[in-house]
Structure 1
């Protein structure tokens, strides 16, 4: 609940900083989910002829890794360009 006399909404720059931090946190969860995806692929032990080779799984995992590195770099670069705001009002 908002304290009396405090604004209900955050200023635009502070709001964008918080959403950027949310994107950074979401990137970690998304990366973990994408890395677990090969566990759902059919394997040779199941007896199906549609199994994928291990090399394809490794290429996928390293591809996801590189995409996560690039996304983290872009998010950090974008966050560095944001102006600093003061936290006079404290955490909301």
Structure 2
């Protein structure tokens, strides 16, 4: 009965890596929501509204933002030492 209990908190590096991986998993959901947002905008008419040029500019800006966010997140996620995609040597 002298077993040491597991630590309550994860190591800072492990915790940070898991949160970055969670953010990377949520990025497609955020992107989908941002791409669907123009569907809620008013259609162009006499009272004003959003034209095709503004919608396409918005979509392009969101696209560039998602690429940048994915690049930043991919660099901040630490590589595990036992990556299953890499073959074992030996």
Give the TM-score normalised by structure 2. 0.74
- RMSD across aligned C-alpha pairs, in angstroms? 2.1
Segments ≥4 residues shifted beyond 4 Å? none
Deviation at 1:49, TM superposition (A): 1.5
Residue by residue over 1:14-49, the C-alpha shift from the partner in whole angstroms, topping out at 9 and shown as x without a partner, is 1011110111122222111111110110013xx651
**1:57: which partner in 2?**
55
Gaps spanning 5+ residues in structure 1: where?
A: 87-92
Give the TM-score normalised by structure 1. 0.73
**1:90: which partner in 2?**
none
Q: 1:85 to 1:14 in 2, by over 3 A?
A: farther
Question: 1:72, 1:37 → 2: CA distance?
Answer: 20
Deviation at 1:12, TM superposition (A): 1.0
Gaps spanning 5+ residues in structure 2: where?
A: 83-90
May I ask how many residue pairs the two structures share in their alignment?
A: 79
User: Residue 43 of structure 1 aligns to a residue in which SS?
Assistant: coil
The answer to whether structure 1 residue 34 and structure 2 residue 8 are counterparts is: no
